[in-house]
Amino acid sequence: MIEKYIQIRTKVPIDSDGTVFKEFNANEKFRRQDISTMLKLLPLIAKYELDFLPKIVDYNEKGYRYEFVDGKTLKEEIDNGILKLTQKMILEMKIAMDDIWKRFYEISIENKDDELFSGNRFLYHGDPWLGNAIWNDDTKELKFIDIDSLSIAEFVPLTQLNNMFFQHLETLLMTQNKDTVTLGTWL
């Protein structure tokens, strides 16, 4: 039997039931993060069954279990030549990302009286890079696979987060064809 795993900083096994257990102290992020906050955030996220995040199956003070998301990340697909970016595809990803932001906003407003949100805090994904995202070009669905990067804060660095994702995609689009003219862009 071939062991299935995902690579984070270390190999994390995919169990026979198709779930992954991620320890809170498995990487630097969780050593710095308040586990008690995650224990409050995970049930909230699980309650909403968001289709753009892995489904949370269980959690405790040691970590959390989620359903493995099958597919390759955008980074893997681009690096391995599987995915050839188009402007249409990037615009479709932008529309999907806007829907994700809208849902995070709605959840924040719905839960404004919850101590996690303190009335003026907002839920967001703090690490939207190509290695944390799976794109399904057939369904036009974007999925973030890194639950660890969910955050709640008063200040959400929208420009930085947007640029992390789309600036990278645009640069890759413009450089995948060496003869592409970049007039009208800042590249």
CB 77 within 8 A of CB 86: no
CB 3 within 8 A of CB 57: no
Give the model's pLDDT for residue 3: 58
pLDDT value of residue 146: 86
The percentage of residues in the chain with a pLDDT greater than 90, rounded to a whole number, is 66
Share of the chain above pLDDT 70, in %: 84
Residues 11, 26: Cα–Cα separation, whole Å: 10
121-170: pLDDT as tens digits: 999 999 999 999 999 999 999 999 888 889 999 999 999 999 999 999 99
Type of residue numbered 121: R
10, exposed or middle or buried, with CB in 10 Å at 0-12, 13-18, 19+?
A: exposed
Average pLDDT over residues 33-50: 88
Asked if residue 111 lies in contact with residue 117, where contact means CB atoms within 8 angstroms, the answer is yes
CA separation for the pair 47, 149 (Å, rounded): 18
Q: List phi, psi (to 5°) of 47.
A: -60, -35
C-beta atoms surrounding 1 within 10 Å: 4
> Structure pTM?
0.85
What confidence tens digit (pLDDT) does each residue in 113-129 have? Answer: 999 998 799 999 999 99
Could you tell me the pLDDT band of residue 77, with boundaries at 50, 70 and 90? Answer: very high
The pLDDT value given to residue 114:
93
